[in-house]
Amino acid sequence: MHENTEFPVPVYAAIELSKTTWLIAMLSPGSNRVKLRQVRGGDAVGLVALLENARMNAERLAGAPAGIVVCFEAGYDGFWLARFLHKHGIRTSVLDSTSFLVNRRSRRVKTDRLDAESMVQMFRSFDLGDKTVCREVRVPTPEEEDAKRVDRERLQLSAERTRHVNRIRALLNLHGIRDVKNLWGGDWREWLRAVRTADDRPLGRHLAAELGREFERLDLVHQHIRVLDRQLEDGLENGTLQVPNVEKVHQIAALKGIGKLSAVLLVSEVFHRQFANRKCLASFLGLAPSPYASGGVKHDQGISKAGNRFARRLLVELAWCWLRYQPESDLTKWYRSSFAAGSGRSRKIGIIALARKLAVAIWRFVEDGLVPPGAAMKAAAN
């Protein structure tokens, strides 16, 4: 991730981040005793001063040049701190907390102090070559991080729109009204004044007011979605969207059943990276099965869900779209022969498997130009 500068005397530090306090656990060279220090949450300058003081103390005691090696968990604070520390010459690793090896006792004691102490000892083992104890997260560039904002905001707005639509339908359903008008535009105010309940009454005053506020919020979400869609279209046209590997966006969007927004999200979240093989891709997406093998018992526990949740959710949605818009593709025929005649649970399991296969097929398409067997391209792309 960063320059792998080696120091004769390395001082390891793990930061347990929170909103109010940053707890720093430090291991001095040749010692297993963990020292704990605190700085105010968000005080990066104070953190650098504390780490620099620890470095100078280590140099004085060892009589040799010392350096700080820092780690913290990926999470709420994002990646800005890693960039800040790197600018100050401090080698920093961001760790995936889901990859940590933990004690398998039935009740695991958890405090910030214990977490920090465990993380610094584990990180020292990792830095010295034991890559099984945890996994490092690649820190994206500011441009890569910013490029994800449009599609992620669009996903959030889409989910918010669904919540408002469901709320409106639920409120009206309480009074026997199942045919709801103007959810996607139109004069909903006039419709609310004219609609009557199933027992032929006008809407109650408070119910009508609540529905009006819900429709107003829904209208605002519609407006924001239209703005983002226009920004996406214009950005792809004039090259100002700043999505890495934008040529892959146009390539993926040429497949039937995959829109431009979905293609942007796939590239910005997944396909701007390099993967060694299909298993690495499935693992990154959290779509790889989790095996369970103990004695004579062997089975899969389902997908790990440890990867990119935005891309995983999108790929499941695209798998359903693929069945509709790519009926002659080999993937669709495989799904129908294996799962279409099964139960609802079986079909849902099958769609996850299809999402994994679809991700691999798209990866091969963008990397090697191999069109998924039997897949149709959009007419405009021919």
Residue 376 has pLDDT above 90, yes or no: yes
Please give the pLDDT value at position 4. Answer: 41
Residues pairing with 68 in the sheet: 11
Q: Give me the mean pLDDT over the 63-79 stretch.
A: 88
Superfamily of domain 9-139: eRF1 domain 2 (3.30.420.60)
- Model pLDDT, residue 241: 75
Both tokens of residue 330? 């080999």
pLDDT over 80 (residue 268): yes
Q: What is the mean pLDDT of residues 275-301?
A: 79
Give yes or no for residue 2 having a pLDDT over 70.
Answer: no
pLDDT, position 382? 44
Cβ–Cβ under 8 Å, residues 44 and 107: no
CA distance 128 to 29: 13
Higher pLDDT, 304 or 338: 338
- The pLDDT, as a whole number, for residue 104 is 56
The model's confidence at residue 311, banded by pLDDT at 50, 70 and 90, is confident
Lowest mean pLDDT among 71-75, 318-322, 341-345: 341-345
Domain ranges of the chain: 9-139, 146-238, 246-381
pLDDT average, residue stretch 200-224:
96
Residue keyed to tokens 């899969």: 300
Tell me how far CA of residue 98 lies from CA of 18, 62, 377, in angstroms: 18, 35, 39
C-beta of residue 135 within 8 angstroms of C-beta of residue 242: no
Average pLDDT value for the chain? 87
Closest listed residue to residue 47, CA positions, set 78, 75, 26: 26
Tens of pLDDT, residue by residue over 97-134, are: 777 766 655 556 678 888 888 899 999 999 888 888 88
pLDDT of the residue at 175: 95
pLDDT tens digits along 38-67: 999 999 999 999 999 999 988 888 888 888
- Pairing type for strands 34-40 and 66-73 reads unpaired
On the question of pLDDT at 1 being above 70, the answer is no
| β-pair partners for 40 | 21
- 3-state secondary structure at position 156: helix
